[in-house]
Amino acid sequence: MKRNLIWLAAIVAIALAAFSIHRGSYYAIHRSQDFRWSPTHLLLQHVDPWQDTIDGDPRHAILMAQVPNDLPLLYVLIFPVGMLSFATAKLVWLTCNLIFSLLIIYFGSRIFALSRLETFFAGTLFLMSTSWRVCLGNGQQAILTVLFLTLALYAGNRKCPVHPLWTGLGFFKYNFAPPFWFYGVVRCGWRWAIYSLLPCVIGLVAVTLWLHGNIFHIAHEPLEVAKLTLTGDPTWDFMGALQIVFRHVIPMPANASFSQALGLLLCMVAIWFIGRPGSRLNLPAQAALVTYTGPLLITHNTYDLMFLVLPFFFLVKYRSHGWAKVGLAMVAYIWFLARVLNPWMFRPYAFPIGPFLRALALFCFCTLALGFAALWKVGLQVSKEELAAAASAPAVQS
């Protein structure tokens, strides 16, 4: 009977994952509005895409929402697609994102030692999630970032849990770089920190030489573009929620600077407690918590919540713990139900409903924070059980 139920659940999971892949692929082929093909194509013509955007895109070469608010490293990594037509590039990038997603599932399952059955169901649920499907349909580069950070954790060891070069390759999406960089510094030292920045430095130097530009100017341009164009969903992360709560108390841009500074400070404190010497958390728990810290504290878009895939795998592994069920429920809500609330999330922007918007921001952030608290609790429980098992092992052998 149990075997039949597993088979039935597997068939349903495959069908729903296939439907999700189909819908995401459809929008990827017909839109891919966030795919950075336009700036890459401009760059290959020796045109500075960041300066072009800052100047108001006088060439009208930036398609849809393909603004270059990423570091130069990204455009070095994906330059081959800039040589293709946009229609062909979309198909190539869609194929790459599907392969990247399967690699995330494979290496993520290896990091947390999931069984084949656990990997299958956790992987199909990931592919069903709204965040992943929107990433795929938008042609986002976030999937590539998650892959690099997953490989960084997979290639790490007990002495240094994150590989510097894989980590550095994921820094082009810099809103999720701080937690991993702080964690690497805490666990591996300042030499690691320097090595991790090498990919970004190499990308910057390569683009500077290609454009015959000023390296300091080009290094600053992505941040200028981000100020002009980058907007997150300010109802999930700490920085965004803080901006909304204090929007009538602290005027912009001081509001944004205050929330970003406080968010980064909290990020450093959280990472210190996660990875500090003598931490009571084992390495898998640290990996899950470090990955969760970015979406919790740093401004991002709703689709970036696919970054919760590694914490989700950790919770699946230890789902028998009571707090793991709470964490899984929070991730399920964020991945599958929160999208239904989007009309309500964005409606307040159309007319002034200050108290409603502030309450909504706090509710969404607290939902994400509850998942983090549950993950921390499970990590402590699992680590304690691991230490107890290790302590009892010699007595059993004797």
User: Which residue, among 150, 145, 58, has the nearest Cα to 104 in the 3D structure?
Assistant: 150
Indicate the number of domains in the chain.
Answer: 1
| 377: in domain | yes
Residue with tokens 């030292």: 189
| 264: in domain | yes
pLDDT tens sequence across 157-173? 989 999 999 999 999 98
Residues of the chain with pLDDT under 70: 229-235, 339-358, 360, 393-398
**What is the rounded CA–CA span in Å between residue 81 and residue 270?**
38
| 394: in domain | no
Cβ 287 vs Cβ 314: under 8 Å: yes
| 178: in domain | yes
DSSP reduced 3-state for 172: helix
The reported pLDDT for the residue numbered 355 is: 66
| 393: in domain | no
Structural domain range at position 138:
2-383
The reported pLDDT for the residue numbered 282 is: 94
| 52: in domain | yes
User: Which residue, among 307, 233, 298, has the nearest Cα to 264 in the 3D structure?
Assistant: 298
**What is the rounded CA–CA span in Å between residue 282 and residue 321?**
16
| 388: in domain | no
The reported pLDDT for the residue numbered 273 is: 96
The reported pLDDT for the residue numbered 397 is: 47
The reported pLDDT for the residue numbered 72 is: 96
| 20: in domain | yes
Cβ 237 vs Cβ 270: under 8 Å: no
Task: Give the Cβ contact number of residue 33 at 10 Å.
Answer: 15
**What is the rounded CA–CA span in Å between residue 247 and residue 236?**
16
